[in-house]
Amino acid sequence: MVLAAALAAITTAGCAATISVPAGPDAANPLCARAVLAVPGKVAGQEKVRASGQATAAWGQAGAAVTLRCGVEPPTPTTEDCQSITVDVRGEETVFDWIAVQDDAGWTFVTYGREPAVSVQVPASLALEQPTAALVDLAAAVNEIPATRQCV
């Protein structure tokens, strides 16, 4: 009886949904591996789930998941909105610069000044008052990639 329950639990766990997240062109960069290994179990109140692409992560449910892709094209200097967010990472105040683009689907944030670049998508369906809260949750992971430039 106990063995049957254990097997049922393992089978159910193996059927957890996988969120389709395409890998970035530089996903094989070793810094992406470090960043993805450091992602937290929860982002913006959503539990971590399996993601399909190399150097990707996801939290939430299909159609309403926060997603992270490491190894995306780094943004060049731009007139797009660049937000600087200061976060305490392991006792040190660290500045993270993000290019922010909002559309009907939600927000897309791409690190500025870090290579490889990281993209985080926060869906509008989560109805977060502050979508940048996801970026705060991901700060320690993104900090695995050193900053070399900053927003002006």
Give me the pLDDT at residue 25, please: 98
Residue-by-residue pLDDT tens, the chain, 152 positions: 443 433 333 334 455 689 999 999 999 999 999 999 999 999 999 999 999 999 999 999 998 999 999 999 999 988 889 999 999 999 999 999 999 999 999 999 999 999 999 999 999 998 888 899 999 999 999 999 999 999 88
Query: Could you tell me the two tokens for 122?
Result: 């926060």
The answer to whether residue 150 sits within a structural domain is no
Give me the pLDDT at residue 106, please: 96
The answer to whether residue 148 sits within a structural domain is no
The answer to whether residue 149 sits within a structural domain is no
Domain extent, residue 109, equals 18-142
- How many structural domains are present in the chain? 1
The answer to whether residue 9 sits within a structural domain is no
The answer to whether residue 105 sits within a structural domain is yes
Q: If you write DSSP's letter for every residue of 58-110 in order, what string do you get?
A: EEEETTEEEEEEEEEPPPPS-SSEEEEEEEEETTEEEEEEEEEEEETTEEEEE
DSSP-derived 3-state class of residue 11: helix
Give me the pLDDT at residue 15, please: 55
Give me the pLDDT at residue 77, please: 86
The answer to whether residue 151 sits within a structural domain is no
